[in-house]
Every structure is written in structure tokens, then in C-alpha cells.
Amino acid sequence: MKKFRNIALIGRKDVVGVPETLAAVCDFLTQHGVNFVVDDETSHFFNSRKSEVVSREDLPRCSDLIIVVGGDGSILNIAPFAAKHNLPVFGINRGQLGFLTDIHPDAIYKIAAILDGHYQEEQRFLLNLKVQDENKRLVSSDTALNDVVISAQQSSKLVEFVLNIDKEYVCDYRADGLIVSTPTGSTAYALSAGGPILHPNLDAITLLPMFSHNLSSRPLVIGGQSKVSVVISKDNRTNLCVHCDGRQSVDVPLGSVVEITQEKFKLLLIHPEEYNYFATLRSKLHWEQ
């Protein structure tokens, strides 16, 4: 396995404990003679420390591994950028669940083995979103590691849409919305909505209608290479929105088409050698109790 000697540090300012853990990681890297830089969105944590601050766009030039201190949301935030630039990502958990951020802040010593090439690596695919109006003009585009969610702007309103997969008609829905999830996102919003847990190695996408008026509606698992097309009915009485990984929503005009496909770039996650996916499920979902 490749050894890492140039590290980029990223931390979320709204997560408790991040400043202390970032400081500890900096001390650890300095003691081990490892070069590191801090992205400009994290630099406010380092006012009293000497550290090179670079823009996020410059990270591929000066780093070969990103260490993220925060929760799963912190990984979601950096995932599209890291995937596009083929930068591996390793997470130290300061959030709630930590399905993507592997080690506890008290186990920073485990970084040493990873830097020396003793780790597991895993690829996770992302979803690409495109919203086109009824005249096929591009309204919005984005990328998601967990999920793409289409819903009404008013939570109490039903929405109507038509689902097509690979240009084949599936059905019409009247529901609160639709969750389109990757295997990574199957333990996030999709799990709360009653969807199945998909192993991250699967090349599959889950479609979950949210509180559908059709009582026979069930989660649908399709191939990861499939093209999902959602046509938004003009008969809707409320405006719709779409968001990727919980980020700020984008308005979806009535009559528009939401297209979701697998992104060509993949996120490379780095795990400690002892990492086990099922052990993570047992711990995070309290299956051992």
C-alpha cells in the first residue's frame, strides 16, 4: 500500500471537540515529521499555530491524503471534491454516528500505521444530479455521496411525479417525495425511511417513495449504472425542491425532469487495517444490546 507523507487537514467549525482534536493531530504529525497543510475553511482553528494554509482548490497539489475531523457530514462535504481529484479521505469521528469517520479521537495513534501504508481502502460511488426544465434547459446540477431527495417545499403537501428507469416507465407516484440513495446512504436518511441496508461494495441504487398514497409502494433496488428520470407533474399545487446530502435545496420547476446517474468519479475511503463493516453496523445500530 502507498505511504502518505503530505496531509491536508479539514475540520468543521460547528462540531463539538474539533479544535482540540485538530490540535492533537497537528502535534502527532509534527512529531512524526509529516508535512501537512490546512484548507482555508479550517484555518480559523489555527490562529496560534504555524501551519500552511491553502485554498481547497490547491489541496491536490500539496497533499496525498485528506484527514477529516468531524462527523459523517464533514465527509459528505468534502466527498465530491476529493473524488474528482482522486484524493483519499480518512476520518476521525467527532460527530454522532460515524459510519464514515472511523477512529475515535483517543485513538489518534492509529494514524501512524495508515501513514506507513497499513490500511484498507474502499471505493464509494456518488450520484450525479441534473435538473432540466420542460424546455430541457439545465436548471441545476450537483453530486451526492449519500442521497438525492426530491420533496415538496411545504412539508404537509403531497407531490406527483412519474418515475422512469433507463427510459422505461415504472409508475406514477403521489407521495411526500422520493429518496434516491447509494449504498453509503443506505444507513442515513434512507434507513430512517424504511429502506434496506446495502453493503457498500454493491453497485446498486435504492429508490424510496416517501409516505406514498399507493400502499403497495416499496423500496426498489436497481443497478448502479441505471439512469433514474423523475418527471415532475405540472398538476402539483406546490413547488418542489431537491437537495443532495442534505445541502441547501434547489427549486425544481413544475414540468421539469430530474435525472440521477452514477458519477464517474469515486471516493476513496481509507480505513484502519482492523476495519470491519459489519462490526460498524453492530456498534452504530446497537445490534449487540
Average pLDDT over residues 81-89: 97
CATH 3.40.50.10330 in the chain: give the residue spans: 6-117
Distance CA 101, CA 89 (A): 9
CATH code for the part of the protein at 6-117: 3.40.50.10330
Distance CA 148, CA 140 (A): 13
CATH 2.60.200.30 in the chain: give the residue spans: 127-263
With respect to CATH, is domain 127-263 assigned 1.10.3720.10? no
Q: What is the pLDDT of residues 92-123, one digit of tens each?
A: 998 777 899 989 999 999 999 999 999 999 99
The answer, yes or no, to whether residue 48 has pLDDT greater than 60, is no
Share of the chain above pLDDT 70, in %: 98
Distance CA 68, CA 50 (A): 19
Q: What is the pLDDT of residues 228-280, one digit of tens each?
A: 999 999 999 888 999 999 988 899 999 999 999 999 999 999 999 999 999 99
Sheet of 177-181, strands arranged across: 220-223, 204-210, 177-181, 147-152, 240-244, 250-252
Secondary structure of 109-171 in HEC code, one letter for each residue? HHHHHHHCCCEEEEEEEEEEEEEECCCCCEEEEEEECCEEEEEECCCCCCEEEEEEECCEEEE
What is the model's pLDDT at position 73?
92
Q: Cell digits for 151?
A: 420533496
Average pLDDT over residues 31-39: 92
What is the model's pLDDT at position 122?
97
pTM: 0.94
172 is catalytic: no
Share of the chain above pLDDT 90, in %: 79
Q: Check if the beta carbon of residue 177 is closer than 8 Å to that of residue 258.
A: no
The residue annotated as part of the active site, out of 14, 40, 72, 133, is 72
Q: What is the pLDDT of residues 124-181, one digit of tens each?
A: 999 999 999 999 999 999 999 999 999 998 777 899 999 999 999 999 999 999 999 9
Give the residue among 69, 91, 79, 82 at the shortest CA–CA distance from 14. 69
